[in-house]
Amino acid sequence: MRCFVILLLSSLTFFSLPPLAQADHTLSAREGWRSHGTVKSYEALLDDLKKAVKSNGLIVVTQAGPTQAAAARGITIPGNRVIGVFNNDFAVRVLYTSTAAMIEAPIRFYVTENKDGTASLSYKQPSHVFGPYFGQGGEVLQEIAAELDQIFDAIASESLN
């Protein structure tokens, strides 16, 4: 009887999930975001992004995504990975301007798989991410954010080509 109840509850939970086919997987324009489509596959874009991060002086600090965990549960979803990047030089420089601003590090890139098998790269511009802290961090934090904007744009350009 206990197994039946567990099976019933598991089934109800699974069938109560919204169908992925109905979800909006596109990333529309959002304030402070950059989003780029590409003809590359999800895996190729992930690999090229990691190489571009390194060649532009940052490091991959975190990676997270639900795709593999969902597959282990028997659920197929499009590729989806968040890659957090930063480096110690920027961390120290930001900390000198605003301790609170460091909650935003690492700053993230978002790689998503599209229905047609291609992938997209999105990210919030560092100046947008650090914007709420400009009052405390002042002009120096604004300069750091602008420098990071240029690096993030270069990483995106390099990874997309």
Q: What is the CATH number of the domain that holds 123?
A: 3.30.310.70
Question: In which domain, by residue range, is 69 found?
Answer: 33-160
Assess if residue 150 is contained within a domain.
yes
Q: What is the spatial distance between Cα 10 and Cα 16, in angstroms, rounded to a whole number?
A: 10
Whole-number pLDDT of residue 29: 72
Assess if residue 8 is contained within a domain.
no
Assess if residue 1 is contained within a domain.
no
Q: What is the largest CA-CA distance in the chain?
A: 66
Assess if residue 56 is contained within a domain.
yes
CB neighbours of 56 closer than 8 A, spacing ≥ 6?
151, 154, 155, 158
Assess if residue 11 is contained within a domain.
no
Phi, psi of 77 (to 5 degrees): -130, 160
The end-to-end CA distance of the chain, in Å, is 58
Whole-number pLDDT of residue 141: 98
Q: Which alpha helices (DSSP H) does the chain contain, by range?
A: 2-15, 42-55, 67-72, 88-97, 126-130, 134-160
Q: What is the spatial distance between Cα 56 and Cα 156, in angstroms, rounded to a whole number?
A: 10
The total of structural domains in the chain comes to: 1
Radius of gyration from C-alpha coordinates of the chain = 19
Mean pLDDT per block of 10 residues along the chain (161 residues) reads: 46 47 57 94 98 98 95 95 98 98 98 96 98 98 98 98 92
